[in-house]
Amino acid sequence: MAYTVDARLCPQNHRCPLLAICPVEAISQEGFSLPAIDPERCIECGQCMRHCGKHAVHKVEHDG
């Protein structure tokens, strides 16, 4: 499992507040672009999903 940010729900017009929420700094963002969640660093604690005001963070299953 991994987390992803839905570009349709994320406004991408500000610095993402989730950058400060992630306890392992797995979320990155260039400028005001769509934040990315590094699956290698993510510990799947769910903090980003719970704190996203736009409900843009979702857990997804990866095949393989």
**Which pLDDT score is estimated for 57?**
98
Q: Is the pTM of this model over 0.85?
A: yes
State the CATH number of the domain containing residue 22.
3.30.70.20
Residue 27 structural domain: 2-60
**Which pLDDT score is estimated for 64?**
55
DSSP string, 18-60: HHHH-TT--EE-STTS--EE-TTT-----HHHHH-TT--EEEE
Question: Count of domains in the chain?
Answer: 1
**Which pLDDT score is estimated for 61?**
81
Local confidence band at 58 (pLDDT 50, 70, 90 cut-offs): very high
User: Could you read off the pLDDT of 6-44 as tens digits, one per residue?
Assistant: 999 999 999 999 999 999 999 999 999 999 999 999 999
